[in-house]
Structure 1
Amino acid sequence: MKKSELARVIRERRSIKKGYNNQEVTEEKVLELLEDAIWAPNHGMRQPWRFIFVGAEQKASFAKKVAATYPLEKQKNREDYLNEPSAILVVIMEEPDISKQWEENYGATSSLIQNFWLLAWEKRLGVVWKTNPHIYDPKVKELLEVGEKEKIIGFLHLGYFDEQPEVKERISAKDKFTLFKA
């Protein structure tokens, strides 16, 4: 049976962690993708996300400032690491006090990230969702003006690429599927 175009894109999508080429990731392209990605399901239409784009012109300064939150011996490594992608999209989520709403917001924001990733893949724009220690650092939250009731969900490293990573097989859903027994 032939797979739908959507199923094909879902199965072909990969995390692009390195090997970015020199093609610039523009603010306009990221906004274009986000305008479709925001159609993710979200409980109560809270739309609990916001974004900070770090483009080519800001990346070196951004990398230096984030790396400065690490111990001195790790700063050069972290600065190099943050300079590797062509651009970074910081995804921030509203953090409600009610646990149920927090989980709904996290699910919605994760769905938005997956939408963005799939849309980017169609344009051969590589994405990887990073949750390195700096996203939890209060100094990074301050640097990015993340509010008290907000959480950095991740840094999406972005860049166009020439070589697609190999497929990593998945465990079949059948192997993780059971029927409820009354």
Structure 2
Amino acid sequence: MQVLNEQALLADVIRERRSIKKGYTKQPVLKETVIELLEVAIWAPTHGMRQPWRFLFVGEEQQKQFAKQIASTYPEERQQNREAYLNEPSAILVMIMQSGENQKQQDENFGATACMIQNFQLLAWEQKLGVVWKTNPHIYDPTVAKMLNVQDNERIIGFLHMGYFDELPENKERIPVIDKFSTFHVG
């Protein structure tokens, strides 16, 4: 019976988790907390045990300079907006992934990293730490990659904006599975 109770708890966490995009409190996100969550999140499925991820933590002390540097890659008229945007969360975790040697490995690495990110989001949610996975244009900018010491065999797949929050976003309904489910028929 213990397994059923744990499954029910997991199902609840999966259904309750939300992406927290704004409204962060002033409570800092500590590097130690992020490392603790990542130590569990990395138990995601990973093809060939490649574990293709690496992380760059931007905490409270580094954030203003980080935001200024990333914003500087935008056209001048957008820089102030992008800098403010990157200073909204309490911390940012840059998700860096090893590129695959071929399309199959690229897909496998992305799938494994996405699973790890979902694990991280669920674990953070249990701690009342909000997370949203951001894929803004700067993650594709070679200048940003160079600034962040991303290697030739790596790519940025997102910035995780993080922060504690007081207000829960609305629940957005999902399309019922049956509407997207079919059975293979021979012939």
TM-score tier, shorter chain, comes to: over 0.9
Question: How much does 1:174 deviate?
Answer: 1.0
For 2:14, the equivalent position in structure 1 comes to: 10
Pick from 90, 98, 114 the counterpart of residue 94 of structure 2. Answer: 90
Question: How much does 1:100 deviate?
Answer: 0.4
For 1:36, the equivalent position in structure 2 comes to: 40
**How many matched pairs?**
182
Q: Which runs of 5+ in 2 are unaligned?
A: none
1:104 equivalent to 2:108? Answer yes
| TM-score, structure 2 normalization | 0.95
Q: Secondary structure at the match of 2:143?
A: helix
Pick from 162, 165, 169 the counterpart of residue 161 of structure 1. Answer: 165
For 2:75, the equivalent position in structure 1 comes to: 71
Question: How much does 1:97 deviate?
Answer: 2.4
For 1:180, the equivalent position in structure 2 comes to: 184
Cα distance in 1 between the residues matched to 2:166 and 2:68 = 27
Pick from 153, 174, 182 the counterpart of residue 170 of structure 1. Answer: 174
Q: Secondary structure at the match of 1:85?
A: coil
* 1:118-129 map, 5 Å: 118-129=122-133
Give the root-mean-square deviation of aligned CA atoms.
Answer: 1.2
Give the counterpart letter for 1:91 in structure 2. M
Q: Secondary structure at the match of 2:163?
A: strand
Question: How much does 1:18 deviate?
Answer: 0.1
Question: How much does 1:28 deviate?
Answer: 0.2
Q: Which runs of 5+ in 1 are unaligned?
A: none
Deviations 1:48-68 (A, max 9, x none): 000000000000000000000
| TM-score, structure 1 normalization | 0.98
